[in-house]
Structure 1
């Protein structure tokens, strides 16, 4: 495109609602609502996926940008707090580990805490690595509270459908117009750009920039504009999920459970009044009917919904922005919810678009930069998820045999080799998962480094023992002062203090 052909963007059309559509609408309308005509097209007849109920701490940043009051949001979405993910049976049958938010122990400017822990382990002075994590100790004890200076890092478990509705209220208050209707046709201009969406009743919705939030269908970017898809199922073989909601039968745990099975894994996500359950599996190794039966055999409490089966192909579109269309959410790509990154990817795309908003017209340089950043971000997360499957001692089922022996992306292989040989973690700027996330998962999956930084050798047994012991003692003291998670949620965002049901 040359400068004189640029068309200023004044009319923004968002195709599809749900978390993705309303998250984008709420953010852009808050900032540019007075300068843009923003319309969102969705149909009540088309269901939303709505099972992405676990989040990561980056959502707090989005809420801060939006000026969202936490207690109000949590009450509206029946949310609870989340301190991390408990992985059960991923390394070996009967062995668990925790990926907690925040940091573990205390770093030195020369080296991370893991090096001092490795030296302490060598000398018989160290407890398990997770014992030096405040988040894990609080999670294990079922406790939570807001601490000064963000001392306890957290995210949320939330009702995704209610979250979309909550964001819709914010967006409409900022001037977004919702149009009810099913998209029957995506009308292209002679230039190849999208000119309008034609609804089933014949209504035409014209726009200058279109946001594709139509889910797996990718009606605009994938179907109308023909942008292809890169399939990652050779690294991530699970291609299906079945989800169901159940009544709560116990205290809401302040963490997500991820339970490995021979053919995939199961999630349990506790909200204020119910639990979200799901089974992610490889349909070549487990039929849909068997998956449904397996999930129902491994849940607690009365089922509140009919189990829903979802089909997906892990991967990404070759471009997430093409011509005058930006795909956000499932329409741009999909990674299974193992590390609760779906809402994060929506959030990052929405913020990136806001920061690069083409008010003066769509420029190729913006498209290229947007696509470069989007690709780097999802590939980093992809590698982190593959790590869980690939580095494992399990060989009890074909899925685990395949994952343990498969070739992995070179970018992941380098990270694994570096940690295994040196105990160090390579971390590029702007990557989602920090050093401690990689350390927790690599140690948890069974990689024990063969070396540590020489700084740790400078400590004698007494000094190193005191160093590790003081960290652990501080964690224990802090957790002992915290209220129970359920009591804190009850007082903070108004959930009724009723005794949980007992399972039968």
Structure 2
């Protein structure tokens, strides 16, 4: 290759394939680079099997702007609703907690807000961080408004993600990519030819066609037709011991959706409910030792599909001239809410590392390095939920035998000592989200940060109570989430 690659071939459509095509076409098509997507038209499994809907992290809007998409168009195309955080029930006896997005309380210099509450004697089992968060209070009340751009407004402390139907989202991305210069090719990629140097030279379709290209993008989902099937790149499993099956369904829903994703644990597994506008998606992650497929289908209403569940990541997603994206590269646990984030991050990061004449060996090493750090954060955030839960049933007891990564073990030790949280390179979750997770999972540090002892207790108590009241009062004045969606969608559910 000389300069930018002449032809980028994307094996597989869906959200992962068409999102990559859109990013590449916007940046590279004007340079004469050909972008081709082989899309077989089958149900989208590019982000993993049993993923009928997506629950995104804050930052999805930034990715959309980077892709030239309008958030309102995304919402309307994908039956979207807003997400102010995540609700967790059943992970500990009597626990019903909300992990809110946006600001929680307010730091005082280096003293984080949760340290202030601990200074006042609050313990993890009684601490309700969501009560000091506008997003948390609005979520509980079923209310929503966009954040204010005015930093002096309390409404500026709110942040949000999105709930999106996967199929509608993929259609929007496809239309935008084609409009930006990408080309669609109907067909299913099964394998590829390799040259003497080990690089791919042509993708082989099910009907016998061979498509030559310079760079190959594997967006074939967990099938990983190129990165695994041809190049043999290995898979690092993150599965919590025993939780090996996943079922899903998408049903019509007339009620106004809650601005929260709900993760509800029971004896054999847990259900993730993603509320859309006019529909809802339920995913059930379960242990086959405690529940068979028929029972799982029955729990979801009798119309679900079921498959194996093995979250994890590819050991080297960019190998030779092939880059895996979506579930071919990483299948996060749904608890991480990271499927869309990782797909967008992959596409936008590739554009900073477009390979040149040497085949991209240097760029591949850097891409894989950042990928390892980013996906490690995703792995650890979900893993901690399994480690911290206190259910007694056999599948859950077995899940607690999951071996934490060295990074997660370090993070857990820091928090257990004095409630400290340090941000890691390329971390997907900020310090406030980790604090909310530790507290929601009832992790009690041995002590608090000694810097908090320098704060006047009476003044601190007054300040925290003022924040709590302000969050509650502001949330009550916001429009109902359902009314906001009806206005934006321009129709009833």
Selected match of 2:250 from 245, 251, 272: 245
Selected match of 2:271 from 266, 271, 275: 266
1:45/1:381 CA distance change after superposition, 3 Å: closer
Unaligned runs of 5+ in 1: 297-302, 499-504
Report whether the alignment pairs 1:371 with 2:368.
Answer: yes
Match of 1:231 in 2: 237
Structure 2 distance, partners of 1:67, 1:316, is: 28
Match of 1:300 in 2: none
Partner SS for 2:413: helix
Q: How does 1:34-433 map to 2 (within 5 A)?
A: 34-35=30-31, 36-45=33-42, 48=45, 49=49, 50-92=51-93, 94-122=94-122, 128-149=128-149, 150-233=156-239, 235=240, 237-296=242-301, 306-395=303-392, 397-433=393-429
Query: What is the Cα deviation at residue 182 of structure 1?
Result: 2.1
Q: 1:128-156: CA deviations, max 9, x gaps? A: 32211111100000000113124320011
Query: What is the Cα deviation at residue 249 of structure 1?
Result: 4.5
Query: What is the Cα deviation at residue 232 of structure 1?
Result: 2.6
Query: What is the Cα deviation at residue 327 of structure 1?
Result: 0.2
* TM-score computed with the length of structure 2 as normaliser: 0.93
Structure 2 distance, partners of 1:404, 1:198, is: 43
Could you tell which deviates more after superposition, 401-410 or 285-294?
A: 401-410
**C-alpha RMSD of the superposition:** 2.0
Partner SS for 1:319: coil
Partner SS for 1:197: strand
Query: What is the Cα deviation at residue 406 of structure 1?
Result: 4.2
| Alignment check: 8 A CA contact 2:12 2:218 kept | yes
Structure 1 distance, partners of 2:6, 2:358, is: 9
1:185/1:403 CA distance change after superposition, 3 Å: closer
Query: What is the Cα deviation at residue 310 of structure 1?
Result: 2.5
Could you tell which deviates more after superposition, 186-195 or 114-123?
A: 114-123
Match of 2:152 in 1: none
* TM-score computed with the length of structure 1 as normaliser: 0.91
Structure 1 distance, partners of 2:277, 2:34, is: 37
| Alignment check: 8 A CA contact 1:98 1:136 kept | yes
Structure 1 distance, partners of 2:442, 2:420, is: 15
Partner SS for 2:257: coil
Q: 1:312-339: CA deviations, max 9, x gaps? A: 3222222100000000011113122112
Q: 1:290-322: CA deviations, max 9, x gaps? A: 2112222xxxxxx8xx31113232222221000
Structure 1 distance, partners of 2:349, 2:241, is: 27
Query: What is the Cα deviation at residue 414 of structure 1?
Result: 1.5
| Alignment check: 8 A CA contact 1:243 1:276 kept | yes
Structure 2 distance, partners of 1:451, 1:360, is: 56
Query: What is the Cα deviation at residue 59 of structure 1?
Result: 1.1
Selected match of 1:439 from 410, 435, 438: 435
Report whether the alignment pairs 1:484 with 2:485.
Answer: no
Match of 2:465 in 1: 469
1:44/1:460 CA distance change after superposition, 3 Å: closer
Query: What is the Cα deviation at residue 423 of structure 1?
Result: 1.1
1:64/1:465 CA distance change after superposition, 3 Å: same
